[in-house]
């Protein structure tokens, strides 16, 4: 009887494999994410023309002031990236040396280095790495359809990151820097933004298809629009646009990867549990990462502080938001630069379509 059941299960599995159609990442869908740019500009226009600046006065000076923003953007996709890597033993084994070295580097730089490196130097380094990570992903995706020469791709990316870092600093440190320094930052960001526009005009001749031109200019307008809204002090919108485009793009890759890897048969414990409870493959990673993000952001620090007081009589503050999530963010910035390259284990489950 057991042999008959086993044979039946094997046939069912073979049939499922035959009927399986892999998902692909659609460039048109990725390009559609940039609609957040005109939406934010429209809200800005409505606020200045009709709402007497209500949004300007009531939106936070930076998105991190909203717990909801942190739960929806930033933290979930960092956790999703960590879950994807940690839940697949083969991936951990493949990248173990990278993980060990970057962990050691983080410990040395942020542990030993914190004793003599000024805080603002740390802040500038992390800000640069953050902006580079966000924009490199978008320019990397665009490269697949733009087919720009290496020098053009690197020039556009370099100008975008340089302008983006200054915008980032101008927004997040606007309360702690002098008016003179802020004016210099704004002026430098403006010059770099103009150079970015001129560079795009110069290299667009290399792009021969409308989809490539769309990505080229949307990545440019992402920086230009952020700069404009930064100058107008609509900081929330200036940060929201690149954050949403980046995070949503990442989730499309993550979910596509997991669907193609686990659709015919669960390959790890996480998806075996999901299959047992008939949870859709499309929901597993988003549901888990968003739930964890909410719990860690809302209750993580308080839970750790209470626990350390009870056990050791010492209160440790921000152990989760700065410690754990900070570490995972830095790991994420590093691993995402290597895990999605052509030839990596991840890429065997990713295909592209128009």
> Which contacts of 149-158 are long-range, i.e. CB under 8 A and separated by 24 or more positions?
149/203, 149/206, 152/199, 152/203, 152/206, 155/199, 155/203, 156/196, 156/199, 156/200, 156/203, 156/216, 156/219, 156/220
The rounded distance, in Å, linking the Cα atoms of 320 and 134 is 23
CA triple 310-316-322, angle to 5 deg = 140
Compute mean pLDDT per 10 residues along the chain, 354 residues long, and list them: 49 57 93 97 97 90 64 86 93 94 88 77 87 94 91 96 95 88 96 97 94 96 97 93 95 95 91 91 93 88 80 76 86 91 90 88
Cα end-to-end distance, the chain, whole Å? 49
pTM to 2 decimals? Answer: 0.89
Is residue 240 within 8 Å of residue 39, measured between CB atoms? no
pLDDT of residue 4: 47
Phi, psi dihedrals of residue 117, rounded to the nearest 5°:
-90, 125
pLDDT of residue 5: 45
pLDDT of residue 342: 85
pLDDT of residue 303: 83
Residue that has been written with the tokens 């020469």 in this structure: 149
Among 25, 24, 28, 26, which residue's Cα sits nearest to residue 211? 28
DSSP-derived secondary structure letter, 16: H
Residue that has been written with the tokens 């795009």 in this structure: 200
pLDDT of residue 292: 92
Among 92, 250, 280, 62, which residue's Cα sits nearest to residue 171? 62
pLDDT of residue 42: 98
């Amino acid at each position: 009887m057991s042999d008959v059941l086993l044979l039946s299960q094997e046939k069912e599995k073979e049939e499922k494999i035959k009927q399986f159609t892999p998902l692909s990442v659609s460039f048109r869908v990725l390009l559609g994410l940039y609609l957040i740019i005109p939406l934010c500009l429209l809200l800005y226009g409505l606020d200045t023309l009709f709402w007497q600046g209500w949004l300007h006065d009531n939106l936070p000076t930076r998105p991190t002031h909203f717990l909801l923003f942190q739960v929806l953007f930033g933290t979930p996709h960092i956790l999703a990236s960590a879950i994807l890597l940690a839940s697949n033993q083969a991936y951990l084994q493949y990248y173990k040396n990278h993980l060990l070295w970057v962990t050691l580097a983080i410990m040395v730089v942020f542990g030993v280095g914190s004793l003599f490196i000024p805080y603002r130097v740390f802040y500038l380094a992390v800000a640069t790495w953050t902006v580079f990570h966000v924009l490199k992903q978008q320019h990397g995706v665009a490269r697949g359809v733009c087919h720009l020469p290496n020098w053009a791709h690197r020039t556009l990316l370099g100008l975008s990151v340089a302008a983006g870092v200054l915008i980032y600093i101008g927004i997040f440190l606007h309360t702690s820097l002098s008016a003179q320094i802020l004016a210099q930052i704004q002026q430098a960001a403006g010059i770099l933004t103009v150079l970015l526009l001129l560079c795009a005009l110069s290299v667009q001749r290399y792009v021969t298809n409308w989809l490539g031109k769309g990505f080229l200019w949307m990545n440019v307008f992402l920086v230009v629009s952020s700069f404009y809204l930064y100058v107008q002090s609509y900081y929330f919108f200036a940060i929201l646009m690149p954050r949403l485009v980046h995070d949503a793009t990442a989730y499309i890759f993550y979910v596509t990867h997991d669907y193609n890897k686990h659709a015919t048969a669960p390959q790890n414990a996480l998806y075996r549990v999901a299959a047992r409870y008939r949870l859709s493959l499309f929901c597993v990673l988003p549901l888990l990462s968003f739930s964890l993000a909410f719990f860690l952001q809302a209750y993580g620090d308080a839970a750790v502080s209470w626990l350390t007081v009870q056990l050791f009589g010492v209160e440790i503050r921000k152990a989760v938001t700065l410690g754990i999530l900070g570490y995972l963010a830095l790991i994420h910035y590093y691993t995402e630069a290597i895990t999605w390259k052509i030839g990596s284990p991840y890429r065997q489950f990713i295909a592209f379509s128009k």
